[in-house]
A and B are shown apart, each in its own frame.
Chain A
Amino acid sequence: QQQVKQSPQSLIVQKGGISIINCAYENTAFDYFPWYQQFPGKGPALLIAIRPDVSEKKEGRFTISFNKSAKQFSLHIMDSQPGDSATYFCAASINTGTASKLTFGTGTRLQVTL
């Protein structure tokens, strides 16, 4: 059972367009929601993250929108570029005091076309 549901599975966006990836979770104990970007054969790279007491966080072209009551959050990539083509994973985390436990979504393969 996937605790963090992610959609769409794949996404094709034209250069300059907006890419939107959505995630939903069930466990209200999650207290940190990061997004990771992964290129083929590389490790996931922490892109941006949000805590549940904030509804939006923006870093450059990347924005997370968070809806606590709906238990949903999304990643918006503005002015999408071919270099953004990668797999994006949302995740939800629980802090155990000396570590965090990440649960990943199933990933979205983004392709930005010219």
Chain B
Amino acid sequence: AAGVIQSPRHLIKEKRETATLKCYPIPRHDTVYWYQQGPGQDPQFLISFYEKMQSDKGSIPDRFSAQQFSDYHSELNMSSLELGDSALYFCASSSKGTGYYEQYFGPGTRLTVT
């Protein structure tokens, strides 16, 4: 079965640089979520989108922005990167078929800021 696709899988950036992470949800999933997971921590919700509109916002820094496109893929844009932004970034998707309850996570993007 098709899963959530994230790219790139690994990214190394320097402080103050910009990064763009991409997410391709499971086909026919119309809601996308972004999470940040630090070492040894639980995933922290950043933001979610439904039908290209932001549906909820969590602890996302103002330096980060995201959007969902007409093909339902989503991009997380991170500017003025800081050392503390080093983490695993996960995208998840869900669909109306499961009442949006079942969130399926991608393999993640490991961002390292040096």
Quick check: is A41 within 8 A (CB to CB) of the other chain? Answer: yes
| Alpha-carbon distance A100/B94, docked complex (angstroms) | 8
B65 at the interface (CB under 8 A from A): no
B63 CB, nearest partner CB in chain A, Å: 23
In the complex, A42→B103 CA distance in Å? Answer: 15
Compute how far the CA of A42 lies from the CA of B105 in the bound complex, rounded to whole angstroms. Answer: 9
Docked pose: A101 CA to B4 CA in angstroms:
18
Q: Specify the main secondary structure of chain A where it touches its partner.
A: strand
Query: Which partner residue on chain A sits nearest B99 by CB separation?
Result: A95
**Which of chain A's residues has its CB closest to B6's CB?**
A43
Structural contact, A102 and B103, CB atoms closer than 8 A: yes
Q: How many residues of B contact A (CB 8 A)?
A: 28
Closest CB in chain B relative to A67 CB, distance in Å = 20
A36 CA to B92 CA, complexed, in Å: 13
Question: What number of residue pairs across chains A and B have CB atoms under 8 A from each other?
Answer: 71
Q: Report the interface size for chain A: residues with CB under 8 A from the other chain.
A: 25
The answer to whether B107 touches A95, judged by C-beta atoms less than 8 angstroms apart, is: no
- The smallest beta-carbon distance between B112 and chain A, in angstroms, is 13
B21-64 vs A: 1/0 string, CB under 8 Å?
Answer: 00000000001010000001111010010110001100000000
A8 to B1 CA separation, bound complex (whole angstroms): 33
- Which residue of chain A has the shortest Cβ distance to B33 in the bound complex? A99
Given contacts A98-B51, A99-B56, contact A106 B100 (CB under 8 A): no
Residue numbers of B with Cβ under 8 A of A are 4, 31, 33, 40-43, 45, 48, 50-51, 55-56, 88, 90, 92, 94, 99-108, 110
Contacts A93-B101, A100-B103 aside, 6 further interface pairs with beta carbons under 8 A come to: A41-B108, A95-B100, A99-B31, A100-B100, A104-B43, A107-B40
